[in-house]
A and B are shown apart, each in its own frame.
Chain A
Amino acid sequence: MKKSHTPYAIRHTLHFFVLAALLLGCGSQYSAEKLYWQANQASKELAKGRPLDKLNEQEYEKIISGYRRLVERFPLESVSAQSQFIIAQVYILQKQYPKVEAELIKVIQNFSNNVELASQAQFMIGNLYERQGKQKKAILEYEKVSDLYPLSRIGLKMPVYIAEYYQRDKNEVEAVKAYDKAIRYYKNLVNEYSGTSFSAVLKDYLALAYVSQGSWNKAVDIWQGIVDENPQDQVGESLLFTLGETYLRQIKDLQKAIDTYEEFVSKNPNSKIIKYAKFQIGRLYLIKEDFPGAIKIFKGIIENYSKEVKLCTDAKLAIAACYEKQGDWEGVMRVYAEIKADYPDTAAALSIPLFIAQHHQKENRPAEAESSFKEAILGYEKIIKRDPHSPLAAQAWDLISLGYLSQQRWDKAVDSLRVLTEAYPDNPRAPKAMFTMAIIYRRQLRDPRKAKEIFEKFIQQYPGHELAGLAKSEIESLQGSPTH
């Protein structure tokens, strides 16, 4: 009796699960994401680490067909728009500009409700004309971005972008007109949205328009206003540091930078970012060479935020820097010993052997520097050997490369940077390592072909990185250089 019931119950339960899986497991977004991932993997395998422009026509077609499959099956999923952007990029490489435009128009049509995606596609059409040197058409398309999607991220940036475009084209008259127009445009938007939370974002765009013109004083006035009005907001918090850095680096008014942070600290004692503001005050005292003042602030940070390891190690390193600037090497070593003892497995502790070697080098003690570098690198190699997959191992490779760079051993530096980029491509240190490698090839090893190849790989691998723009201009200047 029992025997006949058991398989029956199990069979029916299994039927239920299969049915449930079929019914539930067919979400189009998830399936689209899966196809997108598969298309990405297939492209990576095809490219085999080569920059995209080094692929042949057949390989381009294979890449396009992978993404096309997704676009055809799930045309309205956002990853389809991403796929169409990739397809458009491949067409750009093939110089098939009409096909690029057709692809981007499809994105605009399919995602008219998604202003971010639609504005990106519209911007890319303008960029396509800019690439072909058709300035009037490009401007017309850029103006469309601003008219059709005024509050999208790209739409808001457009008025300044147009002015910068004229400036890049050395068309000063049009650039001035465009800047005036952009500033009027942002001022109108600020008035329109005054009293809303969006007004801070719009004011920031107005400030950026002034920055783009080089009017730093006008920009800092606006930022100061935003910080005063939104001390607890993310916009206000991030702009506080922009403000401080602008006073320090652009306006070169150290005291004003200190005053900005000190005023923020006294006005907003409960702010979440007060610890970072205090750290900046300490840092500025250090720059001002008020060492007792700086040390007092950093010690206060360590005492008040003892559980925040990164902040405490940074404060300790800053104290060590104060002692070093005063020539008190014993004091420096005492602080280093404290870091090693209190925070042994941290990035700061790991950096100490390299700092010591660099100090000997700075003090012109070549023999001591040489042996310290050797010892530091050996230590880092041990850490890598112990656990090559840990984040500390990636940092160790980074420090090895810094050690070789300090010693001007360019080949060795390039070798270690290469390992860092290849073994840890997703580590935040990897993009900078790849960029540094390209710079070494260009400036020190005088190999422009290799440098260009790495810059191209950088743009392909990290298109959204802050150094991508610089990599592009390096490629442009390499293309124009006589040695290339």
Chain B
Amino acid sequence: MLPFIIVGLVDVVLFFMIYLAPQPPLSAILGPPIKVFWGERFLHYPFNLLLIPRLFDIAHIVSAALIGVLMTGVAVRMLNEAHSGLKPVIVISLNKTWRIYLRLLVIWLVMFGLVGVVLKVLPAIFHFKQRAASLIVFGAGFLISTLIQALFIYAIPAVVIEEKKIWPAIKRSVSFCQSAFLPTLILVGLPTLIYIPMLILKRKLPFLMSKVFPETVLIFIGLGIVISVIMDCLITSSTAVLFLNKKEGK
């Protein structure tokens, strides 16, 4: 759990920085880009709160690429150590995982890129204005991205545990997923379902902010960070354990 809590804490720091962006001393650094890309008004209350989800999305991508990927590798290594009867120590695992960071990052980038393409391309191709049809597109996007995640999920254990290079790790992940397709889909899909209410809430956020109070966004992002930590922990741990068990032929 600790590696994921670290990722969560990094997200909290970024969240704080974004929240405090309109105020000194952070406004000196974050103020000018916000002004250039979104406009002066987003440096003032309550408009700054409207921009927080968007800025946090960007910050979260950066934190996931820099820290999240590394900590996922660390978590997998710690699970492997525990599975082998050794005492998992985060500092030692971090020291070993750091050396294969580039491989983990490339795998994450491929997976993130594919999911991103699906989530962007689907609504662009099937541009429906009817609510029901747009919900179907949303559901299809969710299913396809879960499928992509399931196909790539074992690439990180393959790199960390089996010390494979990028392409062999991806091939191993796909073949492992095929051999345990349904359990993998459940292990990836079920925790991801927890995040769906957050996605729905996100669409209604401007409305909620105007009806309840503008600070609703802070609760939403805070809750999102907690859910992300739980979700990442569940997906990574359960699939890594399945990988280890299957590898041992249990």
Contact B23 A37 (CB under 8 A): no
Given contacts A20-B16, A33-B44, whether A10 and B5 have CB atoms under 8 Å apart is yes
Contact A30 B45 (CB under 8 A): yes
> Which A1-39 residues have C-beta < 8 A from chain B?
2, 6, 10, 13, 17, 20-21, 24-27, 29-30, 33-34, 36-37
Cα–Cα, bound, A2→B90 (Å): 9
B24 interface residue per 8 A CB criterion? yes
> Which B1-35 residues have C-beta < 8 A from chain A?
2, 5, 9, 12-13, 16, 19-20, 22-27
Cβ 8 A contact of A24, one of B5, B26, B214: B26
- Please list the residues of chain B having a beta carbon within 8 angstroms of any beta carbon in chain A: 2, 5, 9, 12-13, 16, 19-20, 22-27, 44-46, 89-90, 129-130, 214
26 pairs from A and B in contact (CB 8 Å cutoff): A6-B2, A10-B5, A10-B9, A13-B9, A17-B12, A17-B16, A20-B16, A21-B16, A21-B20, A24-B23, A24-B25, A25-B19, A25-B20, A27-B22, A27-B23, A27-B24, A27-B27, A30-B23, A30-B45, A34-B45, A34-B46, A36-B45, A37-B45, A37-B46, A37-B214, A387-B129
Given contacts A30-B23, A30-B45, A387-B129, whether A2 and B89 have CB atoms under 8 Å apart is yes
A386 interface residue per 8 A CB criterion? yes
Closest to B127 in A: A345
* Chain A: minimal CB distance from B76 (Å): 18
Which 6 pairs, one residue from A and one from B, show the smallest C-beta to C-beta distance? A27-B23, A33-B45, A34-B45, A386-B129, A24-B20, A30-B23
| Contact count band on A | 10 to 19
Contact A30 B26 (CB under 8 A): no
The residue in A6, A13, A30 that gathers the most chain B C-beta atoms within 10 A of its C-beta is: A30
Known: A17-B13, A20-B16. 5 other contacts (CB 8 A): A2-B90, A24-B23, A24-B26, A27-B23, A37-B45
CB neighbours (8 Å) of A2 from chain B are 89-90
Cα–Cα, bound, A25→B24 (Å): 9
The residue in B27, B45, B89, B214 that gathers the most chain A C-beta atoms within 10 A of its C-beta is: B45
Cα–Cα, bound, A21→B27 (Å): 14
CB neighbours (8 Å) of B90 from chain A are 2
Cα–Cα, bound, A30→B24 (Å): 10
CB neighbours (8 Å) of A29 from chain B are 23
Number of A-B contacts (CB under 8 A): 40
* Chain A: minimal CB distance from B89 (Å): 7
- Contact flags A27-53 to B (C-beta < 8 A → 1, else 0): 101100110110000000000000000
> Which A137-175 residues have C-beta < 8 A from chain B?
none
Cα–Cα, bound, A231→B77 (Å): 66
CB neighbours (8 Å) of A6 from chain B are 2
Cα–Cα, bound, A327→B33 (Å): 53
CB neighbours (8 Å) of A33 from chain B are 44-45
Closest to A389 in B: B207
CB neighbours (8 Å) of A26 from chain B are 23
CB neighbours (8 Å) of B20 from chain A are 21, 24-25
CB neighbours (8 Å) of A34 from chain B are 45-46
- Contact flags A366-388 to B (C-beta < 8 A → 1, else 0): 00000000000000000000110
Closest to A29 in B: B23
* Chain B: minimal CB distance from A167 (Å): 38
Contact A386 B130 (CB under 8 A): yes
* Chain B: minimal CB distance from A362 (Å): 33
CB neighbours (8 Å) of A387 from chain B are 129
Cα–Cα, bound, A33→B130 (Å): 39
The residue in A17, A24, A26, A37 that gathers the most chain B C-beta atoms within 10 A of its C-beta is: A24
CB neighbours (8 Å) of B130 from chain A are 386
CB neighbours (8 Å) of B44 from chain A are 33
- Contact flags A444-467 to B (C-beta < 8 A → 1, else 0): 000000000000000000000000
Cα–Cα, bound, A36→B9 (Å): 33
Closest to A36 in B: B45
* Chain A: minimal CB distance from B104 (Å): 23
* Chain B: minimal CB distance from A326 (Å): 37
Given contacts A13-B9, A20-B16, whether A30 and B22 have CB atoms under 8 Å apart is yes
* Chain A: minimal CB distance from B123 (Å): 14
* Chain B: minimal CB distance from A422 (Å): 15
* Chain B: minimal CB distance from A28 (Å): 9
CB neighbours (8 Å) of A13 from chain B are 9
Contact B23 A25 (CB under 8 A): yes
Cα–Cα, bound, A10→B90 (Å): 14
Closest to B23 in A: A27
Cα–Cα, bound, A17→B5 (Å): 15
* Chain A: minimal CB distance from B188 (Å): 27
CB neighbours (8 Å) of B16 from chain A are 17, 20-21, 24
Cα–Cα, bound, A20→B16 (Å): 9
CB neighbours (8 Å) of B24 from chain A are 27
CB neighbours (8 Å) of A10 from chain B are 5, 9
* Chain B: minimal CB distance from A38 (Å): 9
CB neighbours (8 Å) of A21 from chain B are 16, 20
Cα–Cα, bound, A33→B41 (Å): 12
CB neighbours (8 Å) of B23 from chain A are 24-27, 29-30
Cα–Cα, bound, A37→B215 (Å): 13
Closest to B46 in A: A37
CB neighbours (8 Å) of B46 from chain A are 34, 37
* Chain A: minimal CB distance from B207 (Å): 9
Cα–Cα, bound, A306→B27 (Å): 39
* Chain A: minimal CB distance from B246 (Å): 28
* Chain A: minimal CB distance from B79 (Å): 15
* Chain A: minimal CB distance from B112 (Å): 27
Cα–Cα, bound, A24→B23 (Å): 7
Cα–Cα, bound, A2→B88 (Å): 9
CB neighbours (8 Å) of B9 from chain A are 10, 13
CB neighbours (8 Å) of A386 from chain B are 129-130
* Chain A: minimal CB distance from B249 (Å): 30
CB neighbours (8 Å) of A25 from chain B are 19-20, 23
Cα–Cα, bound, A2→B81 (Å): 15
> Which A27-82 residues have C-beta < 8 A from chain B?
27, 29-30, 33-34, 36-37
Cα–Cα, bound, A163→B162 (Å): 88
CB neighbours (8 Å) of B2 from chain A are 6
* Chain B: minimal CB distance from A296 (Å): 36
Cα–Cα, bound, A355→B83 (Å): 74
Closest to B27 in A: A27
* Chain A: minimal CB distance from B26 (Å): 7
Closest to B134 in A: A387
